[in-house]
């Protein structure tokens, strides 16, 4: 048996969108189960996201700290953002987020991993990139507002982040998955064996 996620779509008898927000919405589907019963499933419809694990020459990861109202905490995170434009190339979106949130550019980009953040209640798909060869971005800094106006920045050694994740001190999904994926890639075939930055992404198809 091959351990691999596979596409599948069960019959939907009816669908409704009881809430439409600025970036996301809530959908209600009546789904036919394998035994023939029909059950109602509510879930958040999300455009998708990208995140960037930016690794410098001193083996430190670029982090931001940002207030997240739903969990009432300021979380250490890696730069990330929404795929605001349907069909947007995720690499271009990731490069934009790294510039806007950290005023940094990178020479080498790879796909670190792809994840569904909460597939039981949301269809959000996230592509996490590894960015290396960091330098300060050209031009003026991006003007931030709202939660981003209170952002903190840091560069933290990978080993310290692993310790913080396993100690339950760091909770952001993309940070946790990204750091542990980085360590796993290093102990496997190495970082240069990661997928290219333009690798296909069936969860969010895009144009080159």
Torsion angle of the four alpha carbons 88, 91, 92, 95, in this order, in degrees rounded to the nearest 10:
140
Residue whose C-alpha is closest to residue 195's, from 139, 108, 94, 112: 112
The pairing of beta strand 80-82 with beta strand 49-54: antiparallel
**Is 97 within 8 Å of 79 (Cβ atoms)?**
yes
Measured between alpha carbons, how far is 95 from 51 in angstroms, rounded to an integer?
A: 10
Tell me the residue length of the chain. Answer: 208
Q: Which residues are catalytic?
A: 148
DSSP class of residue 109 equals E
């Amino acid at each position: 048996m091959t351990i691999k996620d596979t596409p599948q779509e069960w019959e939907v008898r009816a669908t409704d969108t009881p809430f439409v927000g600025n970036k996301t919405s809530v959908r209600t589907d009546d789904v036919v189960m394998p035994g023939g019963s029909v059950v109602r499933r509510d879930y958040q419809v999300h455009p998708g996201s990208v995140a960037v694990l930016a690794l410098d020459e001193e083996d430190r990861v670029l982090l931001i700290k940002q207030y997240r109202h739903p969990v009432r905490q300021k979380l250490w995170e890696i730069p990330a953002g929404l795929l605001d434009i349907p069909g947007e190339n995720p690499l271009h979106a990731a490069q934009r987020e790294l510039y806007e949130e950290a005023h940094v550019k990178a020479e080498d980009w790879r796909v670190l991993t792809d994840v569904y953040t909460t597939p039981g209640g949301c269809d959000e798909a996230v592509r996490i990139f590894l960015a290396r060869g960091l330098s300060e971005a050209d031009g003026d800094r991006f003007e931030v507002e709202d939660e981003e106006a209170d952002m903190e920045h840091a560069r933290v050694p990978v080993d310290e982040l692993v310790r913080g994740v396993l100690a339950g001190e760091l909770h952001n999904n993309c940070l946790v998955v990204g750091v542990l994926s980085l360590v796993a890639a290093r102990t496997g075939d190495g970082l240069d064996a990661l997928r290219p930055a333009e690798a296909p992404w069936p969860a969010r198809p895009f144009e080159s």
